[in-house]
Amino acid sequence: MTDNIFNEARKRLHKAMKYMNISTDVEEQLKYPKMSIAASLEIRMDDGNRRAFKAFRVRYDDTRGPTKGGIRYHPDVNLNEVMSLAFWMTFKTAVVNLPFGGAKGGICVNPKELSPAELERLSRAYIQAFRDFIGPNKDIPAPDIYTNPMIMGWMANEYSKIMGMYCPAVITGKPIALGGSKGRHDATGRGGFYVLNILSERLNLHPETTTVALQGFGNAATHCAKLLHEKGYRVVAISDSKGAIYSPDGIDPVSMIRYKQEYKSITNIPLSDNIQTITNTQLLELPVDVLIPAALENVITEENAHNIQAKVILELANGPVNNAADEILIEKGCIIVPDILANAGGVTVSYFEWVQNQTCYYWSSSEVYDKLKTIMDTEALKIWGIKTDHDCDLRTAAYIHALSRLSEAIEASGTHAYFSKKD
């Protein structure tokens, strides 16, 4: 994670602004986060020692509603990264027209090194530290990297205990039994699938002849891979943090999910004659039609962009392609379906969960999927239309789309032109 990732993120906003006539008030409001906080979380470890963990929460902008964003557990989490993720979330919620702003949080920890009891204590400590910073109508956290429904359930329970009342709407991504929404577990991957599918004709993709490689095989990637496979796309490569496997004849994602659960890593599974192990770097550079980076930020940079052969990149991860790589790939004719559209399914169904918690009325899986598909299809086609109208790349079109909604909300409270006019 580079130190200038936040400045890099803002460059994409400035690029979109060149296509629009907006008030300088909008640029000023979106220049920095509304609020940032760091804390030290001290917990008692199982061996009796006390240990402190750095933790962060950033609320970027709440003009369109309470802020929304995940909490990630990762040893490299830092404030600069969290600010960037909160910035992206602000635009992501606007892209899919949710009544939310953007936020993000994180704890600097390797969760694999903690026992289940230590993980629970740490998760509850996060809520204790940030209890005044979050709330059902202020800031609503959700899962992210290495966090899951059980962790969200602990957090929601801790907040309810602190408030002295049941408050399920404070956290989304919870277990269904604790107020979670059906369809939330596969929402990010499903949303990405819906976007790719609705744009397939415009991208000149036909499932039966389209090859796909997925870098990362976590929650989002596994569900997206399953749906693509069911639709007829040929998944030829997948990876996890330890390595990748490749088969030009195709890989059954359902079998790989089962194998990974049993053997802990894709690279440990029994290999057949037509499946070979490769590196994550080699996976990114395969001659496939669609590449889906679904892990961490900045995996495609100016150092490897020239080697990327995919015709389409679907960003299931946040910020997997940096600005310099963007320009190289666009020049090569690669179409990048940006993260603020491609992975917005997760926050969309998080919104559905929040609504259900607020109303105490819960929907079926089919209702959730239908509502999600309508939103993802509608916004993807609008963004493609903006791309065509402005003759720009798809990422810039998505930022134009989001910025138009953000600027409308910000300008509704008055701008420099309004307050400086003379009678």
Is 250 within 8 Å of 235 (Cβ atoms)?
A: yes
Average pLDDT over the chain reads: 93
C-beta of residue 192 within 8 angstroms of C-beta of residue 316: yes
Strands 139-143 and 312-314: unpaired
Q: In the predicted model, what is the mean pLDDT of residues 373-397?
A: 97
Bridge partners for 244 per DSSP: 239, 278
Residue 1's pLDDT is 42
Give the residue among 113, 102, 108, 119 at the shortest CA–CA distance from 155: 119
What does the pLDDT read at residue 422?
60
Chain center to CA of 331: 26
The pairing of strands 234-240 and 139-143 is: unpaired
C-alpha closest to that of 186 among 156, 230, 154, 126: 230
Lowest mean pLDDT among 92-96, 318-322, 367-371, 383-387: 318-322
CATH 3.40.50.720 residue ranges of the chain are 181-359+371-423
Q: What is the pLDDT of residues 13-36, one digit of tens each?
A: 888 999 998 888 898 999 999 999
User: By the 8 A CB rule, do 198 and 377 touch?
Assistant: yes
What is the Cα–Cα distance from 294 to 339, expressed in whole angstroms? 10
DSSP 295-339: SSS-SB-TTTGGG---SEEE--SSS-B-HHHHHHHHHHT-EEE-H
Give me the percent of the chain exceeding a pLDDT of 70. 99
Element (DSSP H or E) covering residue 23: none
Contact 73, 106 (CB under 8 A): yes
**Which fold is adopted by the domain 32-178?**
Rossmann fold (3.40.50)
In the chain, the amino acid numbered 270 is P
* Assigned CATH topology for domain 181-359+371-423: Rossmann fold (3.40.50)
Residue 75's CB is within 10 A of a number of other CB atoms, namely 12
DSSP state of 60: E
Cα distance between the two ends of the chain: 52
Give the pair of three-digit tokens for residue 207. 């499932």
| Rounded (10°) angle between helices 253-263 and 219-231 | 150
Evaluate if residue 2 carries a pLDDT over 60: no
Contacts of 238 (CB under 8 A, 6+ apart): 213, 214, 217, 221, 225, 244, 245, 251, 253, 256, 266
- Per residue in 67-113, pLDDT (tens digit) is 999 999 999 999 999 999 999 999 999 999 999 999 999 999 999 99
pLDDT grade, residue 255 (50/70/90)? confident
Q: Tell me the DSSP string of 62-116.
A: -TTSSEEEEEEEETT--HHHHHHHHHHHHHHHHHTT-S-EEEEEEEE--GGGS-H
Instruction: Give the C-alpha separation, 66 to 227, whole Å.
Output: 32
421 included as an active-site residue: no
Query: What is the pTM for the complete model shown?
Result: 0.93
Q: Is 147 helix (H, G, I), strand (E, B) or coil?
A: coil
The per-residue pLDDT for 263 is 76
Name the amino acid, one letter, at 140.
I
Please tell me which residue in 68, 104, 182, 260 is annotated as part of the active site. Answer: 104
Mean pLDDT of 264-279: 80
Instruction: Output the six-digit token pair for 154.
Output: 């602990």
Q: In what order do the strands lie in the sheet with 211-215?
A: 276-278, 243-246, 234-240, 211-215, 290-293, 312-314, 335-337
3-state secondary structure 207-261: HHHCEEEEECCCHHHHHHHHHHHHHCCEEEEEEECCEEEECCCCCCHHHHHHHHH
As given in the structure block, the two tokens for residue 331 are: 């020049």
Name the segment(s) of the chain with CATH classification 3.40.50.10860: 32-178
